Structure 1
Amino acid sequence: MSKNGWKLVWNDEFKGNEIDPSKWEYDLGGHGFGNNESQYYTNRPENAYIDNGKLIIKAMKEEYGGKPYTSAKLRTRGKADWTYGRFEVRAKLPEGKGIWPAIWMMPTDLEVYGGWPSCGEIDIMELVGHEPNKVYGTIHMGNPHFYTGGNYTLREGKFSDDFHIFTLEWTPSEMRWYVDDILYSTKNDWFTRKNKDAEKEPFPAPFNRPFYLQLNLAVGGDWPGYPDETTVFPQTFEIDYVRVYQPEDGKY
């Protein structure tokens, strides 16, 4: 499969009966994940499963592991990673106060540039549930922490109404974010350093080495806030496919 000069190198169409363990691992726990989140991520089929060709990540209101909600986080760490490429995910998003779905990437080796945030983080899509018609694309880096990005708002309706395609094109000199092939953000200036007193690493650090993909549905946290009486549970993050492309000619 090719697309505008990009060739498909990795994908999951979720056509089987179970989540493919050769492609995904679960990130487990209820430690807040650096954002004071309220969910406990499990590997139970109640929280992540395949249904009718879709990966379903479900957040539920239930006591588990000392947390008031359960959900799931899947990642390709240790199974697949990439330096540069086109990353495309077709998904239907949940909504509601305190609901926080994300498609994002972290470096396989966190310590090359000194841990987070200097190691870098690429957020392909995030939505905070009280803004159900807006998504964000962001990169994190630096020391002290610095981030930059953009956002896209639907002209009508919400991201929970239907499936949309969320895309990142990552090259050595630029990152481009799209919704349904509409370009909404471009970044070509970033930096990092291991500590506040260090010299800046040469561009394009920290985004010049392998990153793996993550899909998760958080509940609560510093950015989205926390569920209230208006939040309906369960909420589902439905992923139709994940596709990764590289240039057909092998050049960027």
Structure 2
Amino acid sequence: MLPDTDFLAGKKGLVVGVANSHSIAAGCAQAFHAAGAQLALTYLNDKAQKFVQPVADSVGADILLPLDVTDDAQMDALFETIREDWGTLDFLLHSIAFCPREDLHGRVTDCSRAGFAQAMDISVHSLIRLARRAEPLMTNGGTLLTLSYHGAEKVVDHYNIMGPVKAALESTARYLSVELGPKNIRVNALSPGPLETRAASGIDHFDELIEDAKARAPLHRLTTIEEVGAMAACLVSDFARSVSGNTAYIDGGNHVV
């Protein structure tokens, strides 16, 4: 954990993708809050709100609104509220990924056209849509963060089609970093090791993936959402003002072996 200081005081950030208090996005929101940032959070739908509301309350979120990233009207309404309430935005965390179960659990060779298109739209193009709307609000520069995984770089058993999808996400982050750099908007990806979250549990043979990570990583343990949050808070802060286009690994060193 980062120390409870105010190095993000005065900064305003949007966190997209909190599922519950155990999600990576929740760990990041807690770290942003501990460092003094004002936050806006989103929830997918009415069913999800009851799981996100406690997180929003715990970080004193100024804004909590629904956001299905496939709904342009909801996305427009979210950014209009941020513009009206805050006027500016300093950072945005994109922690969104989805793939239909039958495609996620099958071979890349057998992935359906519809499943691939949906996974790319929700997991990758949603970052582009958010960036486009965030750009005019980042009048003093800012930071965009997204969540990736080592399966984007190396073939990981049972990660299947999400490997190519995350590879596209990391590449998108690099291209955004170049396009938005002249406006002092930095773009980076976070790549945690496997965490025991609800989203990750959808991966086939996930228990095996967890045990393999523990065995292979130099630190021989799993990453925590608090540790991912600490890295996220650092990257959106002025401490990392020259860091852009990077993929930051928070995996106990697993990516090097």
**TM > 0.5 between the two?**
no
Task: Name the structure where strand makes up a greater proportion of residues.
Answer: 1
Name whichever structure is richer in helix by fraction: 2
Q: TM-score, normalised by structure 2?
A: 0.29
**Higher RCO, 1 vs 2 (CA within 8 Å, ≥6 residues apart):** 1
